[in-house]
C-alpha cells in the first residue's frame, strides 16, 4: 500500500495539566492565544491562529512528570484521515482509536509510535483555512 497524501505538519500538541485555570491564564492572558473550543470543564482548545494546543485536566501525572498527552499531525481531509489509518494498520502500527468525527467538524484517530507516545492524525478545518489562504 502506498503512503497517503503528506501531512500538513505537526501543529497540534495536547498537554495534561493539573491546574487548568492557571494554564489557561498562562497561554491566553500571557501568551495571547485564543480559546477555540471548551468542550467540557476539563478540556480547553487554544489557538494562536496557526496552531492548536489542547489542555486536559488531570490529577494523575506520572512520577516522571509526563505532561504530554499526544502530538497531532494536520491532515487535508476526512478521507485522508481514513487513508492514513488504513496505511498505518497495514504496517502493524498499534491503534488507540478508530477514525471518528468530532462535534466541531474535525475527524481524527489516535495511534502509538514505537515508544508508546500517542500520535493523532486530525483533519481540523480552522487550521486548514490558514494554509489555504496563504
For residue 20, what is the domain's CATH number? 3.10.180.10
Q: Is residue 2, in this structure, part of any structural domain at all?
A: no
Taking a C-beta distance cutoff of 8 angstroms, is the pair 81, 122 a contact? yes
- SS3 per-residue string spanning the chain: CCCCCCCCCEEEEEEEECCHHHHHHHHHHHCCCEEEEEEECCEEEEECCCCEEEEEECCCCCCCCCCEEEEEEECCCHHHHHHHHHHHHHCCCCECCCCEECCCCCEEEEEECCCCCEEEEEECHHHHHHHHCC
Q: Is residue 126, in this structure, part of any structural domain at all?
A: yes
Q: Is residue 3, in this structure, part of any structural domain at all?
A: no
11 has pLDDT over 60: yes
Domain hosting 15: range is 10-132
pLDDT tens, residue by residue, 70-121 = 988 888 999 999 999 999 999 999 999 999 998 878 999 999 887 787 889 9
pLDDT at 116: 80
**Total tally of structural domains belonging to the chain:** 1
Q: Is residue 79, in this structure, part of any structural domain at all?
A: yes
Q: Is residue 97, in this structure, part of any structural domain at all?
A: yes
**Bridge partners, 34 (sequence order):** 47
Whole-prediction pTM value?
Answer: 0.71
Amino acid at each position: 500500500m502506498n503512503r497517503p497524501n503528506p501531512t500538513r505538519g505537526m501543529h497540534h500538541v495536547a498537554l495534561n495539566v493539573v491546574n487548568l485555570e492557571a494554564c489557561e491564564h498562562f497561554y491566553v492572558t500571557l501568551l495571547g492565544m485564543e480559546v477555540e473550543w471548551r468542550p467540557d470543564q476539563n478540556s480547553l482548545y487554544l489557538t494562536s491562529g496557526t496552531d492548536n494546543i489542547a489542555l486536559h485536566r488531570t490529577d494523575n501525572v506520572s512520577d516522571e512528570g509526563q505532561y504530554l498527552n499526544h502530538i497531532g499531525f494536520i491532515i487535508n481531509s476526512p478521507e485522508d484521515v481514513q487513508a492514513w489509518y488504513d496505511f498505518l494498520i497495514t504496517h502493524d502500527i498499534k491503534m488507540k482509536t478508530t477514525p471518528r468525527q468530532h462535534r466541531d467538524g474535525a475527524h481524527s484517530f489516535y495511534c502509538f509510535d514505537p515508544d508508546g507516545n500517542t500520535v493523532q492524525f486530525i483533519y481540523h478545518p480552522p487550521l486548514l483555512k490558514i494554509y489555504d489562504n496563504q
